[in-house]
């Protein structure tokens, strides 16, 4: 009866493994390692060649910081006026959130990018632009078409540039802890 435990391979299909270093027959005595030297020893440990190559490379010294200009540019998404002309109707509001919903922009690393509108193309529709940066030519074309531009600064609680209200009152409000006189401790 043929069962799983009684299955064997056909004779000659799997040649037996050569046992090196076991007597004077094939691969005996030195077992294919040659005579003496580090490579012939048991437990030979050779340095990896890649380490030697890495050591020869000149290393750059000092602190390598990310360029602020490059990182800021990567977070700004550019969109042209001709796209706004095609995708929006007259009198509609244009914000980064609406642009994301219409799939004209997408998030960068899970964050909402800053949007800059450039003046390529023509616009004839009066659009309400909010929370978007504008180039000079784009601003002129939007205002000429009868559109409005409104920039919403960041809220007072968040970080970043102070809002218009903060500038008018002379900077950010300090918390009460900063206005109290310092406590004199025991020396």
More confident residue, 187 or 151: 151
Q: 149 burial class (0-12, 13-18, 19+ CB within 10 angstroms)?
A: middle
Task: Please report which confidence band the pLDDT of residue 2 belongs to, taking 50, 70 and 90 as the band edges.
Answer: confident
**pTM, entire model:** 0.46
Looking up residue 108, the CATH number of its domain turns out to be 3.100.10.10
Q: Is residue 91 part of a domain?
A: yes
Residues 86-101: b if buried by 16+ CB within 10 A, e if exposed: eebeeeeebbbeebbe
What are the contacts of 91-98 at 24+ separation with CB within 8 A?
Answer: 91/125, 91/126, 91/127, 91/128, 92/125, 92/127, 92/128, 93/127, 93/128, 93/130, 94/127, 94/128, 94/129, 94/130, 94/132, 95/130, 95/131, 95/132, 96/131, 96/132
- Per the structure, how many domains does the chain have? 1
Q: Is residue 162 part of a domain?
A: no
Residue 176's pLDDT is what?
47
- Tens digits of per-residue pLDDT, 54-106? 888 888 777 766 666 566 556 788 999 999 999 999 889 999 999 999 999 98
Residue 39's pLDDT is what?
85
Q: Is residue 141 part of a domain?
A: yes
SS3 state of residue 169: helix
């Amino acid at each position: 009866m043929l069962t799983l435990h009684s299955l064997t391979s056909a004779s000659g299909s799997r040649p037996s493994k050569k046992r090196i270093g076991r007597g004077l027959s094939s691969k005996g005595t030195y077992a294919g390692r040659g005579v003496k030297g580090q490579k012939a020893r048991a437990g030979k440990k050779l340095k990896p060649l890649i380490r030697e190559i890495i050591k020869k490379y000149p290393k750059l010294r000092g602190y390598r910081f990310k360029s602020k200009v490059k990182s800021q540019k990567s977070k700004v998404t550019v969109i042209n006026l001709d796209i706004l002309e095609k995708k929006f109707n007259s009198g509609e509001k244009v914000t980064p959130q609406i642009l994301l919903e219409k799939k004209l922009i997408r998030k960068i690393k899970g964050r909402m990018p800053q949007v800059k509108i450039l003046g390529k193309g023509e616009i004839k529709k009066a659009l309400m632009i909010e929370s978007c940066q504008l180039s000079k030519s784009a601003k002129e074309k939007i205002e000429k078409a009868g559109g409005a531009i409104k920039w919403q600064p960041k809220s007072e609680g968040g970080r970043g540039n102070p809002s218009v209200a903060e500038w008018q009152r002379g900077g950010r409000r300090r918390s009460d802890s900063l206005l109290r006189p310092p406590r004199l401790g025991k020396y």
